[in-house]
Structure formats: C-alpha cells, structure tokens
Amino acid sequence: MDSFDKNFVEGSPATTASSAPRVEWRFDGPPPSAPTTAFAATRGWEAGPGVDGLAVREGRLSGRTTSAFPILHVERTAGLDNPDQLFAVEIRLRASAGTNLALVTRPSPTVDLKQEQAQADALPWTTTTPIIAGEELQTYTITPAAPVSGPRIRHLLIRPTDAAGADFAIESVRLVFRKEHLAGVPSGVSWQGLRDVFHETVVTRTPESVRYRLTRPSRPCLRRSTSTSARTVITPFPRLPSSRMGASSWCGTSSRAVAWAVG
C-alpha cells in the first residue's frame, strides 16, 4: 500500500454520481414545487409530544421543547423501493440546551408518537450523538446503530435535544445511502469498513483497472479480501507469470455484498 500511487488507476469515469436521488429536507430555501399534503407549512414535519410552536422561520424548522423527550416526525412518501442500506443521517441543527441528539426509523404504515415517547425508557433510541448546545448551527453525522435498508425507513423520528425548555432550529436533514456515500469515495487507497471490520483498501469502480509492479519473495502467497456495494460477481485478481507460481494465472470470484470475502 505504501508504494501505491493514484496514477496506477486507469479508465476512471468522468463522473461518479449516485443513481439514486438525494434524500433531503431543507428549510433554508423556497418550498418544494410539489408540497406535501400533510403538514405543508412545515414541509412534511410534524410536532410530536414535547414540541411546541413548530414552524419554518428564517430558513429553519424551529420550535421549543416542553419535555426532555421531544419528538419530530416525518413520513417518507417516495423512494421506499430503494433497497440500499442507510449509511448515515446528516442533521444541521442548533439547540440552546441539552447534550444528545437521537433518531429512530419505523417501517410500519403508521406510528403512535405518544407511545414512542412512553416506551423510550424501556426501549432507548440507540442511534444517537452528543451535541454542542449554543447559538451556532452544527452539522451532526449519525450512523445507524444497526443496518437498515431504504424500504424500512418509512417514518423518521428525531429527538432534537434531551432538555426541556430548549429552543431548537434545524436547517436540513439528509439521509445518506451507502451507494451515494461510495460514489464520493475517490479511487485509490483508503480505509473501508464493512460490518465493523476495517481494511486498508484499494478502491476502484467500473470500468477502472489497476496496474502496478510488485517485488515478490521466493515463495509468494497472494491473498485478497474483496467486496462490492451490491451483490454481483467480480474477478479482480491479477495475472501472474507461470515461471514463479506454477500457473499462468490465479483467479477467483466473489459475490459477497457489504462484507469482506477472504481467500
């Protein structure tokens, strides 16, 4: 890896845009051209228990908490057929008080927000991050505590802070799916984690190829760990001279998605 150079990657596409549309709610611009029928004034977002005065003001979804477990809720009505895994949720927010931001997703047709609040002590929301209370907007990137796919994110519930009597304001909420995240990863050497197993990795994407020379020891043994962002068959293994390895090539296939296949 130390000798790898980005110029070894050949045939890179001009763009690496994700095929799926961006999933984001913004409050700092004009309303969407096709507004939601429910809660149109707040662009689809509903004030649940513990939230008072929810409204879009000065480009922010703003309100005040009346309990230590306030809940904001939005229902997704598009993109539910996207099977991709959620990589992270990005929230740009400020809160005048509190120490933690949390969220949860639900796949059911409906949700009972009062019941969600009542059950929170027994079933804590585990997708959470500390926050910096104050007057400045902060960007928080929260990774899900367990794998969750697009069809299971029909409802998104956010606990903007864990303090009662706090003012909060949200500029944007964005769902980042795995393919969108990977499209932004440059080809070359980087650290990549799959199911909590991390490797120093050579990242490539179709139709790229990688060519570089290696100095082999007297008895070389080549092992590889590979994976793809979607289930497919790949043949990424190098061609080796027969004089040293006893065969004209060493090849294999892998079809494991979002997990390392070692061989």
Q: Name the DSSP class of 228.
A: B
Contact call for residues 62 and 54 (beta carbons, < 8 A): yes
pLDDT of residue 212: 72
Q: Which residue type sits at 162?
A: D
Residue type for position 207: P
**What is the pLDDT, as a whole number, of residue 249?**
42
Query: By the 8 A CB rule, do 94 and 134 touch?
Result: yes
pLDDT digits (tens, 9 = 90+) for 101-147: 999 999 999 999 999 999 998 999 999 999 999 999 999 999 998 88
Look at the pTM and tell me if it is higher than 0.85.
no
Complete domains list, the chain, with CATH: 23-180 (2.60.120.430)
Own/partner contacts of 106-109, CB < 8 Å, gap of 24 or more, are 106/154, 106/155, 106/157, 107/151, 107/152, 107/153, 107/154, 107/155, 108/154, 108/155, 109/154
The whole-number mean pLDDT for each consecutive block of 10 residues of the chain, a chain of 263 residues, reads 72 65 90 74 96 97 98 94 94 98 97 96 94 97 93 97 98 94 78 73 77 74 66 54 47 53 59
Please name which of 230, 229, 256, 226 lies closest in space to residue 238, comparing C-alpha atoms: 226
- Measure Cα distances from 167 to 43, 136, 263 in Å: 19, 12, 54
How far apart are the C-alpha atoms of 108 and 76, rounded to whole Å? Answer: 11
Residues 65-89 have pLDDT tens digits of 999 999 999 999 888 999 999 999 9
